[in-house]
Structure 1
Amino acid sequence: MELARTTAVVTGAASGLGAATAAALAARGATVHGFDLPSAVDAAPAPPAGVEYVGVDVTDPGAVRAAVARAAGGADPLRTVVNCAGIAPSQRILGRRGVHDLDLYARVLQVNLVGTFTVMTLAAERIAETEPDRHGQRGVIVNTASVAAYEGQVGQAAYASSKGGVVALTLPAARDLAPHGIRLMTIAPGIMLTPMMQTVSEEYRAGLAAGVPFPSRFGDTGEYADLVLSIVGNDYLNGEVIRLDGALRMPPR
């Protein structure tokens, strides 16, 4: 699918994977609407050319619907959606301070899984209204899971549950959207050098990187963005999860 003269939506676009992806899509000629929390948008540096930040909470269906409608209402058709928004708090089911906070568990699923589903669904509704390209395709949606969906570590019960849901969503969503000419793919990143990871000590980061078979380092946000571009450009990729992890298999802790 061609990106030039099309519109894209990227969630979590003010930093990390989302920021890199928004910039990469814009560099290929797409007009990008970068969704993120209003507080994150206010704190972010000025977006690159072709990217407009929009303050949106993905857990608010009304706000998502309005923002998607705005993105789809321009001169260029909405073709690409990339869901990067997410949170990753850590808490054990039974810990020294008691049981896992049940409201926190629900919040993680609400942001990571329900938020992804909400953006995917409301964007697909608008993509389905567009004219197909010469290959009969109307668009592509890329969701973000995690290797934690497969090898959740100690303290990751909520996060692993939410990302496991994104993995399980992939095939049925692709099958549901196929009649509308919309592809659905998921990327499951390993340990990526995002702003959150840059806040921990160099020693801790070195230990994590050493556990990656090859290359023994953190993944770069640009590598995630490159994979998004590959998915968009390869029309036969559909209904699958791609691990982006250097062959990492996470240990229990």
Structure 2
Amino acid sequence: MKIENRTFVVSGGASGLGEATVRMLHANGGFVSILDMNAELGNKIANELSPRVVFFKCDVTDTDSIAQAVKGTMEWVGKTGKELGGCVPAAGVGFPGKIIDSRSGEPIPISSVDLVLKINLRGTIDLMRQVSAHLIKVTPTAPDGERGVFVMVASSAAYDGQPGQMAYSASKGAVVAMTLPIARDLARYGIRVVTIAPSLFKSAMTAYLSEKALKSLERVMEWPVRPGNPDEFARTVKDSIENVMLNGTVIRLDGAMRMPSKM
């Protein structure tokens, strides 16, 4: 599918991997609806890239908030005349915590687990189901009758989560697991589903890591020996959108890195 003159919804699009995706889509002639909680950053990017980028403040843990953002996006689509092309649900959080705190002996607060699952998993599903209702009505494109594509964001933690990543790994593992069934659900409409599972990438989520932690992780990197750059993630999103044979699959974007059990 061509990116040019199609509209894409990107949650978490005001920073990190989401922002890199927004900029890639814009650079390739796409129209982008940014959904994010950070109105300052979201509006800044939208104003910079206007008129082909618009921002809606959105809390992906709130169904009504998503509904309002999707409604606003479709009203914008009506004005621009650029049909919906897909969605990249990139909003995500980490909030590390072991199931039992080694210092206090107390179990992890269930509220912390709930929030990670609500944003990373429930938020992804909720946004996709609401966007799907509009994507199935899009005019199919030749030669394969394609209507659009979803590119979900998992993590290498879905496969080799570290201590303290229980909730995060659970949420990203679920994203991996639901890739194929959602692709099968949407196949009849000519809509594809691809998931990217990055390892350590430069982002707001990894910015908190100390220099010591980064050096420790470098020891388990194969090649290249560095964190991934956001534009390298965005390039894989581009391939996922444009290559119609990518469907129902998970792409590990990790430079052969496997996360260690201990830092």
TM-score scaled to structure 1, two decimals? 0.95
Identify the match of residue 172 of structure 2 among 155, 163, 167: 163
Decide whether the 8 Å contact of 1:23 with 1:51 is kept in 2.
no
**RMSD of the TM alignment (CA)?**
1.3
Decide whether the 8 Å contact of 1:7 with 1:72 is kept in 2.
no
Q: Distance in 2 between matches of 1:30 and 1:201?
A: 36
Cα-to-partner distance string for 1:143-179 (whole Å, 9 max, x where unaligned): 0000101111101110000101100110000000000
Q: Distance in 2 between matches of 1:53 and 1:45?
A: 6
What SS does the aligned partner of 1:58 have?
coil
- Find out whether 1:67 has 2:69 as its counterpart: yes
Residues 98-107 or 14-23, more deviating: 98-107
Matches within 5 A, 1:40-119: 40-43=38-41, 46-47=44-45, 48-49=48-49, 50-73=52-75, 74=77, 75-95=81-101, 96-97=103-104, 98-119=106-127
Q: Distance in 1 between matches of 2:149 and 2:100?
A: 40
The 4+ residue runs of structure 1 with deviation greater than 4 A are none
What SS does the aligned partner of 2:207 have?
helix
Deviation at 1:222? 0.4
Amino acid at match of 2:142: R
Amino acid at match of 1:5: N
State the aligned residue count. Answer: 251
- Find out whether 1:207 has 2:216 as its counterpart: yes
Question: What residue is the counterpart of 2:250 in the other structure?
Answer: 241
Q: Which runs of 5+ in 2 are unaligned?
A: none
Deviation at 1:107? 1.2
Work out the percentage of aligned pairs sharing the same amino acid. 39
- Find out whether 1:184 has 2:193 as its counterpart: yes
Matches within 5 A, 1:221-236: 221-236=230-245
Identify the match of residue 138 of structure 2 among 123, 130, 133: 130
Q: Distance in 1 between matches of 2:168 and 2:55?
A: 26
What SS does the aligned partner of 1:211 have?
coil
Q: Distance in 2 between matches of 1:176 and 1:103?
A: 32
Identify the match of residue 250 of structure 1 among 251, 255, 259: 259
Decide whether the 8 Å contact of 1:143 with 1:166 is kept in 2.
yes
Q: Which runs of 5+ in 1 are unaligned?
A: none
Amino acid at match of 2:165: Q
Amino acid at match of 1:162: S
Q: Distance in 2 between matches of 1:99 and 1:233?
A: 45
Matches within 5 A, 1:137-156: 137-156=146-165
Q: Distance in 1 between matches of 2:42 and 2:31?
A: 19
Q: Distance in 2 between matches of 1:210 and 1:35?
A: 36
What SS does the aligned partner of 1:200 have?
coil
Question: What residue is the counterpart of 1:9 in the other structure?
Answer: 9
Deviation at 1:200? 3.2
Decide whether the 8 Å contact of 1:13 with 1:53 is kept in 2.
no
What SS does the aligned partner of 1:34 have?
strand
What SS does the aligned partner of 1:154 have?
coil
Residues 235-244 or 101-110, more deviating: 101-110
TM-score scaled to structure 2, two decimals? 0.92
